[in-house]
Structure 1
Amino acid sequence: MVRQAVVGDKGLVVGHAGFHGPPDEVGMVEIGYSVAPDFRRQGYARLALIELFRRAAAETAVTTVRATISPDNVASLATISGFGFVEVGEQWDEEDGRELVFEAPARRVPPA
């Protein structure tokens, strides 16, 4: 499930955010988000994370939110700080290469 992030009166698409699929057998959902280059460093990724946490918390089957991020993606690593994510390991992704794996409780109240 992917949702578009929009802003402004004209419905300008600035990126996308969503879940890679339904919760697994232990209640984990993996999130993904991307902001178009022209709109980066304006807080859109952070707002998308807040909304993803709100949606995850609304589903009783979801207990954990997972994010996988390249160790070189400094901006995304900075974006997730303050959301309660803890690094729990790493993995190899066929498309993206090495990724760090982070998890946070789904019911954590996102920062304002």
Structure 2
Amino acid sequence: MIVRDLGFRWGSWGKHRTLYFNWRLLQLPVQVIDYVVLHEQVHLLHHNHSKQFWKAMDSVLPDWLVRKQELERDWVGLRVSLWRLRRRPPLAKGLPPRVRCRGDELPQVKLSEADRQ
């Protein structure tokens, strides 16, 4: 098992049956993490999200749907946070984190053509 940045994915199987989990799962409640771990383990038996897959989920975790909905709700917040981190405006690049100032107080920065896009 390896924990690393998986972008917007929760978990996945790699070569040689290596299980990968997104480190951001550690920010979620334990019951949600349990859902993701069991979800990935059920993929050992059913490689897709077929009816048999969800039937197996029912047998190992009867409240999987509630946990899945909680994951989707919480994950949206984490995705928005991640998106904001990756899409900082060019003028804010030179500022230290958590600096708050009005727009007219921002340092004047000459933007390259790549930063303008």
**After TM superposition, is the score higher than 0.5?**
no
Higher strand fraction: Structure 1 or Structure 2? 1
Which has the bigger relative contact order, CA under 8 A and spacing at least 6? 1
Q: Which has the larger radius of gyration?
A: 2
TM-score (norm 2): 0.28
